[in-house]
């Protein structure tokens, strides 16, 4: 590959539709740019990173990928999303930031962890007070959603209908940091991929567990006012 060519790497998990389509599209352009799946099996400290850009869809679940991406960024590789932002990239912070920007958010509560690593004892937790689950259930309302503050793919997401069910799922959550959130029955589920603070595109999405949801690429299927509002809010947030 010539010095001026751009090589794009993709890190993926179980997801197929977007990564495969992205690579096919880039490689069909016929310009000085190519895309491929990154192959990793250990990384030397001074090992050159062969990519100008890495599109990351999996480091949130594979810590080795996250370590590699930081070194890639150090060598001048553009990592999307920014791997250094990940430490602040929990959902509760995202909701709080959006609310501060005037974007409506469901009522949300972040809960203490149910369990900890072995060397955390009762003396380690002297700042924690008993959690009033009934009060929080009343605050967000029932039914509500219990889900982790970190991660994605609809993993460990539960629709809660009663206080007993809430306590059961919380007790089964282990070391995950869980949230309770007001349940919103939507008419349209929209995702808005956004690049910088310049480009946004609202896409209707059919959510499904395990990253198996699908996008409807018909841009006109959404009412114009709803589409414009979603894009405006996404640009404001980013």
Give the CATH number of the domain where residue 113 resides: 3.30.1490.20
Half-sphere exposure of 121 (CA within 13 A, CB side): 2
Question: Same structural domain for residues 120 and 195?
Answer: no
Describe the strand order of the beta sheet including 178-182 as a list of residue ranges: 108-110, 178-182, 144-148, 158-160
DSSP assignments along 192-238, one per residue:
--EETTTEE--EEEE--GGGT-EEE--GGGS-HHHHHHHHHHHHHH-
Question: How many other CB atoms sit within 10 Å of the CB of residue 91?
Answer: 18
CA dihedral 231, 200, 185, 215 (to 10 degrees): 150
Distance, in Å, from the CA atom of 109 to the CA atom of 136, rounded to the nearest integer, reads 7
Question: Same structural domain for residues 156 and 82?
Answer: no
Is 0.85 topped by the overall pTM? no
Question: Same structural domain for residues 95 and 178?
Answer: yes
Q: Which two tokens stand for residue 21?
A: 């389509």
Distance, in Å, from the CA atom of 195 to the CA atom of 7, rounded to the nearest integer, reads 19
**Residue 168 forms part of a structural domain:** yes
User: Which contiguous run of DSSP H or E holds residue 136?
Assistant: helix 133-140
User: Which contiguous run of DSSP H or E holds residue 35?
Assistant: strand 33-37
Structure confidence at residue 210 (pLDDT): 62
DSSP letter (8 states) at residue 19: H
**Residue 36 forms part of a structural domain:** yes
User: Which contiguous run of DSSP H or E holds residue 119?
Assistant: none
User: pLDDT tens track of the chain, all 238 residues?
Assistant: 445 589 999 999 888 888 999 999 999 998 899 999 999 998 988 899 999 999 999 988 888 999 999 999 999 999 998 888 776 678 998 999 999 999 999 999 999 999 988 888 888 888 889 999 999 999 999 999 999 998 877 889 999 999 999 999 999 999 999 999 999 999 989 999 998 889 999 999 988 766 667 888 899 999 999 999 999 999 999 8
Residue where a domain stops, chosen among 63, 88, 113: 88
Question: Same structural domain for residues 175 and 194?
Answer: no
Q: Which two tokens stand for residue 206?
A: 């059919």
Distance, in Å, from the CA atom of 230 to the CA atom of 238, rounded to the nearest integer, reads 12
Q: Which two tokens stand for residue 212?
A: 């198996």
Q: Which two tokens stand for residue 103?
A: 């974007």
**Residue 130 forms part of a structural domain:** yes
Range of the domain at 217: 190-237
DSSP assignments along 43-101, one per residue:
--TTPPP--SEEEESSTTT-HHHHHHHHHHHHTT-EEES-GGGGGG--HHHHHHHHHHT
Question: Same structural domain for residues 103 and 78?
Answer: no
**Residue 1 forms part of a structural domain:** no
**Residue 201 forms part of a structural domain:** yes
State CA 186 to chain mean position distance.
Answer: 20
């Amino acid at each position: 590959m010539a010095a001026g060519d751009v090589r794009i790497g993709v890190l993926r998990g179980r997801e197929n539709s977007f990564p495969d389509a992205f690579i096919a599209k880039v490689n069909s352009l016929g310009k000085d740019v190519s895309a491929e799946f990154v192959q990793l099996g250990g990384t030397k400290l001074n090992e050159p990173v062969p990519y100008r850009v890495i599109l990351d869809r999996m480091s949130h679940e594979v810590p080795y990928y996250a370590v590699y991406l930081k070194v890639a960024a150090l060598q001048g590789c553009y990592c999307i999303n920014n791997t250094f932002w990940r430490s602040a990239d929990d959902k509760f912070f995202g909701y709080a930031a959006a609310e501060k920007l005037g974007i409506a958010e469901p009522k949300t509560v972040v809960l203490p962890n149910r369990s900890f690593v072995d060397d955390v004892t009762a003396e380690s937790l002297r700042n924690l007070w008993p959690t009033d689950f009934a009060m929080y259930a009343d605050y967000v309302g029932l039914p509500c959603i219990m889900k982790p503050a970190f991660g994605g793919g609809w993993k460990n997401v539960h629709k809660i209908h009663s206080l007993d069910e809430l306590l059961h799922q919380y007790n089964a959550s282990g070391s995950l940091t869980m949230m309770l959130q007001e349940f919103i029955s939507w008419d349209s589920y929209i995702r808005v991929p956004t690049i910088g603070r310049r480009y946004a595109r609202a896409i209707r999405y059919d959510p499904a567990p395990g990253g198996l949801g699908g996008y409807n690429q018909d841009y006109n299927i959404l009412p114009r006012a709803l589409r414009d509002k979603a894009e405006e809010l996404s640009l404001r947030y980013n």
